[in-house]
Structures are given as structure tokens and as C-alpha cells.
Structure 1
Amino acid sequence: MLNIKDHCFIENVKYSTKKLKVNLGVNIFKAGLCEEINQVVIFRFVGFYISDNNEFIVVFPKGYKIPDSEVQLSEDIANLINTLSRYQKESNFDPENTQIFGDAGNYTSLSAANWLIKDFITNGIFINNKISYVRNQNNNIDWPKTIKYMNPVISNKQVAYLEFVSRKKRTDESNLLTRVHGYIVYQSFKILGPFIGLKMPPELIEYNNELLQEYDINQIIHFVEQERNNLFSDREVHLCNKLIEFLKGNSSAEADSNIMCLAVRHFHVVWEKICSFLFANMSANNIMPNPFWQVNDKSIKTSQIPDVMLRNKNQLYIIDAKYYTLYKNLKGLPGWGDLVKQFFYLYTLKDRVDNIREMFNIFVFPGTSNEIIKYYGKAAVEGVESLGHIYGFTLDVSKALKMYAHYNSNQMKKNLVEVVQRSI
């Protein structure tokens, strides 16, 4: 029986190779997503990976704690998929940062599989309704064809039709597009279902035929592209795009590159997006002064912009999303550079935002706690009390992923203000 906990890990945590219950294969190391030193492996990405040994691997962000409840773990896996899918949709990916390539040709997109599952739950299998024409049915009369093909009866100088041409919809259940959709949704449930708490729907069992034994995958891709041109509904066109995305990921002729991956190498950019979504209500653009270099007759500006700014009446919160692992021995906390930058943000904003009486410097770290936001500690510069403090808080990773994935900020701005005021 599948134990999904055996497949779940946390970025930057050390795991003994002797205790691993999954076979990582070799490609994950070749891709630089994992490294092994002295019989210890460390994952260097956040997301999902299916190894060359068909092992499904889930890597959660720093600060996350794998729960005892498998139901909660399945929910967190689903939220992580939706978080990365949302980030994929809203951001321009840097190839160095991510392996999310929906149309790269050698990666099957788990993002597409996830979308197809959700679409199926809402809309079911695609059914191609064909229009046929029949005589003498009073419903859905096609008047142009009736006038063209039927002979009228003229009585008292009036034209009357005793026979009609009517439109009739019929379902083409043998349509290849229906079969392609069913087959791919079946494969999507087979891959993701056990990890996100979804059982295989009985109506998909009939699509468990090896479609690729009948057709070359490139022929299927070409067919779906042609069918897409004949569809008009936005949902059906988008459905075809996702089917193509999934199929292209399986079209690689090289076994070594035929892998599934939805993985971000540098999750700090996603953490910044999450914190901005939850807490930001104003922009620092056109407020922060720009540092510049003056070289000969040329002036080159650089930017300095806080990750997140939150205004609450006459208070200003300057927030930096810190994607750090917080160790019990306090090792690896933000150092001089991070602290000075944050102090400088407050210093330069003092007289640039109207009607502000109080300003607070905040670091937000990923963590796990019953409280969604929890006070961690504060930083200062010894002997320079005038700089004030930078207050650190942890944001529960599980709850943050859920809110970001479901586009629900859930009064987090108010919550942060209350926790800050209660803690300092």
C-alpha cells in the first residue's frame, strides 16, 4: 500500500540514503535538483518530480513540517501544485529558476495534469456533439435549409411549408478527441490522484486503453491542434491547449528526458509572491529613491524596493519575505547585508509617505505553527539604538500555500497588524 509520506521531503533538509524508501534514480542528480554527499541527500528545489524509476517525489518549502495526518498531507500536496501552477500562470519563468516547461517537448507538465483533473471534476469528459438534419420535426427548424430544399405550398397568395428541415444534435462518443481526453485524464488521475486524495473515477476506466499503441503521439498532437481550430468555446480551446501540453511532454524520444517535473529551483521568488499577495496594499514604486553610479558623464541608477509594503491608517509596515531555514541553534539568520538594507528602507521612507506616525520593519520567515503568524524575535545594531528594530515573524507554510493557491488573503493584513502590535 502506498505511503505518501515516504515520497515527501523538505528543501535543504538532510536525508540519509540508508533511510530513503524511494528510488531517486540518476536524472534528478544530473538535473542538479538533488545532491548526495557522504550518504546524505539534499533536495535543491521545491515541487514535484517523477524519477526515471517512476517514483513520485514531493519536495515542500523550507519551514514546512510533514504532518502526521495523511489527509492533511494530501491537501498540502494539492495546495503546493496549485501554488506553483498559479505562479507559473502569473509570472514569466526564468529557465534557470524553474523546470516548468509546458511546451518544451521533454517534460510532461504536471501543471497540465492538475488542470485537467480539476476541469474533469467540473465538466466531465469532452463530448463532441455533431449536428445532423432531419425532415418534419418541428423542433429547431432550420429555415434557410427549409426554404432552400423544401417546396412550399401557396394558398391565398401566402407561402406555407408543410415539410421542414430541422437541426438535431447527436453525441459522437467514438470521437477521437473524446478518447484522447479520457485517456489523458485517466493518466493524470493515475499519476496525481493517490497524492492529492482523489480516487480514480469509475467512468474513466473505459479509457484505460493504450491509445499510443494505435496512434503515433505526434499524430495525436496534430489531430488535437486541428480539432482546436474547429472549436469556439473558450473552455474547449483551453482544454485542447492543456491536452497538447501534456502530450508534448510525453513526445520525447529519449528515455532520459522523458520525465515529469513541476519544480522551482529558487523558491524565494514564490515566497515573495505569497507574502505580497497576503500582506501588500501599497506599492513602493515612485516612492523609494534610487541609488546611482556616476561614471564620467554617465549616470546609472539601480533599484531598491521592499518586497511588501502595508499601510494601516497612520502606520507603515515595511516587510521583507525571507526564505530562510530557522535552526534551533540560531545558525544562518539574516546577516549584516540584509539588516542594513532593511534599516535603510525605513530611513529613506520616513519623509516620503504622508501622514505616517509609526513605521515597522518586518521579516517574514516560512515556518510551521498552530498560529498562522507567530512572533520569532528581533534584530538590532548594537550601540545604534536610533535605527530601531527589525521584527521577525514566521508564517505557517501550509496555511500560506492554501490561501495563495485559492486566491484568498483571509484578512491576513489585519492579522499581521494585530500580531505585530501584540508582540512588540
Structure 2
Amino acid sequence: MRSLYLLSSDEVRVSFCGVVVAEDGAHVFLPRNAELPEKGSRTGYRVASSLMKAIRRYSEDRSSKQHALDEGDGSIGSRRLGLISDLLEDYCNNGLYSRRLSERVMNTGKPDWRRTISRQVPFPGKGGPVYLDVHGTRRRYVSDCEIARIHAAVIRELDSAYGWMVTGSETSIALDILNVPRPKGKVAAQLRAIDSELVSVFSERDIRLLKLLGEYLRCEHGREASSAVIGMRHFHGMWEHMLDKSLLWNFPVNKLLSVPAYRFDDGSIKVAASKGQRTDTVLRLPDSNSFAVVDAKYYGAQGLGSAPGWPDLVKQFFYAKALQVYCPEALVSNAFVFPGKGPLKSAHMLNRSTKQTEDTSYPPIKCLYLDPTDLVEHYISGKKLHIFSKELFVDSEYST
């Protein structure tokens, strides 16, 4: 881990989530507090595949916006993950590359009347000239070509290391192409063959596949035969993003909240919009003034040592107040969401003298736990966390 810069010399706790492919196989690191399936089990392959699909979707979600991935996430190999997944999925859906050939035939296929008229002697008939032999063309698909060999070699290589990411099992997808001969020449020659083939193809699938093969070979060319790493150095950003996408009744409130402003010595007031309030996730029940301020915390949350600190509490208290300024009738619920399972139920402010909680001045913050595997499955499928979303609200008709 240290040699791959996934763990600094003074760190003892791993924050990385993703896969490290080494000579002895693939090592998958699941999110914090996730239940570890039995090694080599069907569940293990499925959970590992789902995590990598979630990482891929997260990378695509973030890159689709105008800004890049959060620097704090430490995304590693996101482009390579997309490339590998695209190549494997294309093969599963379409099979091995085949070249479309057009050959001349006689009395079969699509008639070629121009060639028939110029080369055959017609016989007179009642309705006009009759040709006893008709030239034609027939198209057939041939996989015995250099591009197919390159394609097969790439798929075999990817299948041995990453096939489980697409299939969610240990089943090989390359059994049908094990006997396809290896391509001729080295990578440079293979790239020339791909570039040459691109000039002569027109179908969208063929063009896309050839470009993917070319990009993959260029990426792998010169790469040292060492461990390959794909994942996130830090998972907190992805944890927040997945939860935000999977909850019901998301309410975009940031643009509605007050923004800080500064009065200058000339009497003018200037707004510092870039320094405005940015809540993680706010939910609003339909047709009501019930809000829930949700802070996804990728903390261990197994005791006081790994519980949210003072800055986290202050932020939640303040956002609840900000919502009540925006909507004076608002009924605001506050919640932390941690991965896995744990003992924390709620956070309060305690009066040192009376030893009583000051829930009136500081509304309690609910502490909820969510199985990371369950969240990943909802995220990649686009499903919503219906029951969990309801639990974030206190004393509402939607609460369970």
C-alpha cells in the first residue's frame, strides 16, 4: 500500500476504496464498516463488482459537471476504469470484432444488374430479355483478421484481471476466444493496423470499438508490469454523493439561503457569494414545511473517539437555524448518516451545571447508520431509499 502511495509512512488506517490488482490476484477494499463477504463467494464477487460500478458512475457524474473531481477524493485510474468496462461490456453485448466482406457470387445474393448486363448474353422472352445467369454480391462477416486477433488478445487480458467487474462472478467471458491466434507484431504494429482499419469502417459500433482498442493499447504501452490501482484514496466525497443521489425529496436550498455580505468604509455592502452556506443534503416533505438537514459522515462512529466533533455539530445547528430564517414555519430535523452499524442514537448539547440536555436551544441531531453495500446497490441502480428517507424526519406522518 505504501509503495503505491495509498498509505503514507505515518498512517496505520487505510482510507482507500477500490481494487489493487497484483500478481497474486485482485484485492478489493470495501467502504468503512461494510460487512465483509466470504472470500471467493458469489456474494463477494457481486459486492466487489457493485463497488467498482459505483466508482465508475461517481467518476462520470462528477466529470460531467464543469468542475473536476474533488481533489480530496484522490480519484485513481477513473479513465482506465471506464476504458476497461467499456471494452468488456462491448464484447459481452456484441462479441468479437468481425470484418464485413462483400464477395461476387452467381445466381445468389443481391443481384448486380449492371455487371450482369455487361457480361451475360440475354435470351429473348415475352416480357423482354432473359438472363440465365445473374451476377450478384453477398456480404459476410469474417472474424479471421488481424483486428479480431487484437480484440481477442485484449479481451483475454482484461477478462483474467477485471472480468468480475462486469459479470459480478468468477465466470470467464473469454472462453469462446481462447483459441484465437495472437496478433502479429508488437503494440506499435497493432496500433497501425487499427488506424488503417478505422479508415474503412462506417458502423458506429466498429468505430467506437476500434477507438477503444487503440486508446487501451496506447495506455498500456510502456506501462510497467506492476500493481494496477483503481479507486478512491478517500471515500468521504463519494459517500456524500451517493447518499444525496439516493434519498427522496431532495430540496435544492443553497441558492435560497442568506449569503454573507461586508460593509465597507464608504457605506457600500458587497456580497461574498462564494463564501455562502452550502448544506450537504436538504430534504423537504411534499406539500409541507418539514425539512431534514442531512450530513453524510464517513466516520467510524463507534464511540466518542470516532463521533462528529464540535465543527460538525455547529454546522448542523446553524443550518437548521438558516432554514428557519428562510421559512419561519419550518419544522427542521437534523441527522448524521454513518456507514455500517453503530451505537450512536443522537447528539445533544448538555448543560454542565444541571446535567440536562438543552434540546430546546439546540435541537437534537439524529444519528443513523446505513449499510454501505445497500447504498452502493441503490446508487448504481438509480433506486431511492424510501424507508430510510422517511426515518430522517422526526414526528412526521412519513416517519416509521
- After TM superposition, is the score higher than 0.5? yes
> Is residue 63 of structure 1 aligned with residue 63 of structure 2?
no
Match of 1:307 among 276, 280, 284: 280
1:183 maps to 2:126: no
Q: 2:104 is matched with which residue?
A: 133
Question: Is 2:333 the partner of 1:360?
Answer: yes
Query: 3-state SS of the aligned residue for 1:364?
Result: strand
- For the Cα contact (< 8 Å) 1:133–1:166, is it kept in 2? yes
What is the 5 A alignment of 1:201-280? Answer: 201-207=174-180, 211=183, 214-252=184-222, 255=224, 259-280=227-248
* Alignment partner, residue 290 of structure 1: 259
For the residues of structure 2 that align with 1:375 and 1:135, how far apart are their CA atoms? 80
Code of the aligned partner of 2:42: V
Does 1:348 pair with 2:322? yes
Q: Deviations over 1:277-333 (max 9, x none)?
A: 111533224322223456677643223222222222222222222111222x33121
Aligned 8 A contact 1:377 1:392 in 2: yes
CA change 1:94–1:226 in 2 (3 A) is: farther
> Does the residue aligned with 1:185 lie in a helix, a strand or coil?
helix
Distance (whole Å) between structure 2 residues aligned to residue 353 and residue 387 of structure 1: 18
Q: Cα gap change, 1:194/1:98 in structure 2, threshold over 3 Å: closer, same or farther?
A: closer
Given candidates 13, 17, 31, the residue that maps to 1:46 is 17
Task: Work out the percentage of aligned pairs sharing the same amino acid.
Answer: 22
CA distance 1:357–1:289, shift in 2 (3 Å) = closer
CA deviations 1:157-202 (Å, max 9, x no partner) are 9677665443312222222221122111111121134684222242
Which amino acid in structure 2 is aligned with residue 358 of structure 1?
L
Aligned residues of 1:35 and 1:43 also touching (Cα < 8 A): no
Q: Pick from 77, 87, 95: which aligns with 1:124?
A: 95
Residues 219 and 31 of structure 1: is their aligned pair in 2 closer, same or farther, counting only changes over 3 Å? same
TM-score calculated relative to the size of structure 2: 0.79
Partner of residue 354, structure 2: none
Specify which structure has the higher proportion of strand.
1
Q: Answer whether contact 1:46 1:60 (CA < 8 A) is retained.
A: yes
The amino acid of 1:79's aligned partner reads S
In structure 2, the CA distance between the partners of 1:240 and 1:136, relative to structure 1 (3 Å rule), is: same
Unpaired runs of at least 5, structure 1: 1-27, 103-108, 369-373
1:398 positional shift:
1.1
Residue of structure 1 equivalent to 2:170: 198
For residues 379-418 of structure 1, what are the structure 2 equivalents within 5 Å? Answer: 379-382=347-350, 383=358, 385-409=360-384, 412-418=385-391
Which digits, 9 at most, give the CA deviation of each residue in 1:214-234, with x for residues without a partner? 322133234334434544444
Q: Number of matched residues? A: 373
CA distance in 2, matches of 1:289, 1:168: 71
Conserved 8 A contact 1:375-1:394: no
From the superposition, tell whether residues 417 and 140 of structure 1 become closer, same or farther in structure 2 (CA, over 3 Å): same
Mapped contact 1:83–1:401 kept (Cα < 8 A): yes
**DSSP-derived class of the 2:326 partner:** coil
Q: Deviations over 1:242-269 (max 9, x none)?
A: 323432332125x37x542212122112
SS at match of 2:366: strand
AA in 1 matched with 2:155: V
Unaligned 5+ segments in structure 2 are 351-357
Partner of 1:336: 310
Alignment match, 2:49: 78
Please identify the structure whose Cα radius of gyration is greater.
2
* 1:87 to 2:58 alignment: yes
For residues 116-138 of structure 1, give each alpha carbon's deviation from its aligned partner in whole angstroms, at most 9, with x where no partner exists. Answer: 3333333222222222233332x
Quote the Cα distance in structure 2 between the aligned partners of 1:415 and 1:63.
Answer: 18
**Which one-letter code corresponds to 1:326 in the other structure?**
A
1:322/1:363 contact within 8 Å kept: yes
CA distance in 1, matches of 2:281, 2:316: 12
Match of 1:7 in 2: none
Residue 377 of structure 1 and its aligned partner are, at CA, apart by 1.4
Q: Secondary structure at the match of 1:206?
A: coil
Residue 414 of structure 1, CA deviation: 4.4
Structure 2 partner of 1:99:
76
2: CA distance, partners of 1:94 / 1:222:
34
The C-alpha deviation readout for 1:50-90, integer Å capped at 9, x for no partner, is: 24x55532211112121237221111100011111112222
